[in-house]
Chains A and B, each alone.
Chain A
Amino acid sequence: DVKVTQSSRYLVKRTGEKVFLECVQDMDHENMFWYRQDPGLGLRLIYFSYDVKMKEKGDIPEGYSVSREKKERFSLILESASTNQTSMYLCASSSGGLGKNIQYFGAGTRLSVL
């Protein structure tokens, strides 16, 4: 079974802090994704990576950056956390290609920025 592991289930940070959210997958998937999920807004794509060191902006990249130095690990970075970044963050991975774009999700990180 595919396993996607997010480093923290709950995180509380202060405004202005630099925050790292880590995600690791164990299935050698090419693609990895970071979403945020807010009530009434559904899942919104922040960033997408289709290979090591390759990334593409999603729908809401402002205030975020990402890093993919190794195939299995995809990090989301909040350079200077703000209260409007309080949210549930979901990481996902997929092997990619037509018929192979099923995404496997981690359990999520609920981030509170105070």
Chain B
Amino acid sequence: SQQGEEDPQALSIQEGENATMNCSYKTSINNLQWYRQNSGRGLVHLILIRSNEREKHSGRLRVTLDTSKKSSSLLITASRAADTASYFCATAPRDQGGSEKLVFGKGTKLTVNP
């Protein structure tokens, strides 16, 4: 079942600009993760934020989590052409106990123009 929904579905920006993607979900979670997928390839894990955390940074990535609104955002600063990819949020629903399973959204397709 789909839980995470990313917004927007597609985003096109110029190199050097910041890119912001949003994710909304429906049920309580243990953690939320963001993944990246280059065209025709597998997904690569970017960052994990726990339900008791509000913000997390990793290099040019900044993730926020608002559990009261059941939403998260991924900010990529100073984007590069190499950031062109699809970005997915994935949630570990609390009612699934050990949280082995993740529920993925449909993704945001980011294009960074040189």
Number of residue pairs spanning A and B whose beta carbons lie under 8 angstroms apart = 64
Chain B residues with a Cβ under 8 A of chain A: 1-2, 30-31, 33, 35, 40-45, 48, 50, 88, 90, 92, 98-102, 104-107
Q: Is the CB of A41 within 8 A of B106?
A: yes
Chain A residue nearest to B50 (CB atoms) is A99
How many chain A residues sit at the interface, stated as a range, is 20 to 34
Q: Is the CB of B102 within 8 A of A90?
A: no
Contact flag A98-B104 (CB < 8 Å), given A103-B45, A105-B43, A106-B42? no
Least CB distance, A10 to chain B, in whole angstroms: 10
Contact flag A108-B41 (CB < 8 Å), given A43-B104, A99-B31? yes
Least CB distance, A62 to chain B, in whole angstroms: 15
Among B31, B40, B43, contact of A101 (Cβ-Cβ < 8 Å): B31
